[in-house]
Amino acid sequence: MRETHSARVGLGTRIGRLPHVVGLGLLTLLLLAAVSFAFPPFLEVDNVKSLLDDTALLIMLAVGEMFVLLTRSVDLSVAANAALTGMVVALFNAAHPGAGMLPVIVIAIVMGAVLGAFNGILVWKLRIPSIVVTLGTLSAYRGLVYIVSGGAWVNSGQMSPMFLGLVRVPILGVSVLSWIGFLVAVAAFLFLRFSVSGRNLYAAGNNPNAAAYAGIDVGRMQFLAFVLSGAIAGLAGYLWVARFAVAYTDVASGFELQVIAACVIGGVSITGGVGGVVGVVLGGLFLGIIKNALPVVGISPFWQMAVSGLVITVAVVLNAGARRHEGRRILEESEAGA
Residues 187-206 that bind another protein (CB under 8 A): 190, 193-196, 199, 202-203, 206
Beta bridge partners of 292: none
Closest to another protein by CB, 46 vs 332, is 332
**Minimum distance between the CB of residue 161 and another protein, rounded to whole angstroms?**
30
Compute φ and ψ for 51, nearest 5 degrees. Answer: -60, -45
The binding track of 267-286 with respect to another protein, each residue x by CB under 8 A or -, is: ---xx-xx------------
Of 45, 95, 102, 126, the one binding another protein by CB under 8 A:
126
Closest to another protein by CB, 14 vs 96, is 14
**303: contact with another protein by CB under 8 A:** yes
272-288 burial, b at 16+ Cβ within 10 Å, e below that, comes to bbbbbbbbbbbbbbbbb
How many residues bind another protein (CB under 8 A)? The answer is: 99
Of 3, 37, 169, 170, the one binding another protein by CB under 8 A:
3
Nearest to 315 by CA among 69, 63, 24: 24
Query: Contacts with another protein in 31-90 (CB under 8 A)?
Result: 72-74
Binding span for another protein by CB under 8 A among 47-55, 170-178, 238-246, 323-331:
323-331
For residue 170, the surrounding DSSP H or E stretch is strand 170-171
Half-sphere exposure of 86 (CA within 13 A, CB side): 33
Compute how many other C-beta atoms are within 10 angstroms of the C-beta atom of residue 244. 17
Closest to another protein by CB, 170 vs 309, is 309
Angle of CA points 234, 200, 112, to nearest 5°: 10
Closest to another protein by CB, 103 vs 129, is 129
**337: contact with another protein by CB under 8 A:** yes
**Minimum distance between the CB of residue 157 and another protein, rounded to whole angstroms?**
24
Decide: 266 and 282 in contact? Cβ < 8 Å: yes
d(CA 184, CA 60): 6
Binding span for another protein by CB under 8 A among 175-183, 225-233, 235-243, 326-334:
326-334
Of 225, 261, 277, 280, the one binding another protein by CB under 8 A:
261
**298: contact with another protein by CB under 8 A:** no
Question: Using a CB cutoff of 8 Å and minimum separation of 24, what contacts does 39-48 make?
Answer: 39/293, 39/296, 39/297, 41/296, 42/292, 42/293, 42/296, 42/297, 45/173, 47/292, 47/296
Half-sphere exposure of 127 (CA within 13 A, CB side): 1
**291: contact with another protein by CB under 8 A:** no
Nearest to 227 by CA among 299, 96, 124: 124
The binding track of 9-28 with respect to another protein, each residue x by CB under 8 A or -, is: xx--xx-xx-----------
Closest to another protein by CB, 155 vs 195, is 195
The binding track of 130-159 with respect to another protein, each residue x by CB under 8 A or -, is: xxxx-xxxxxxxxxx-xx---x--------
Binding span for another protein by CB under 8 A among 37-45, 103-111, 177-185, 300-308:
300-308
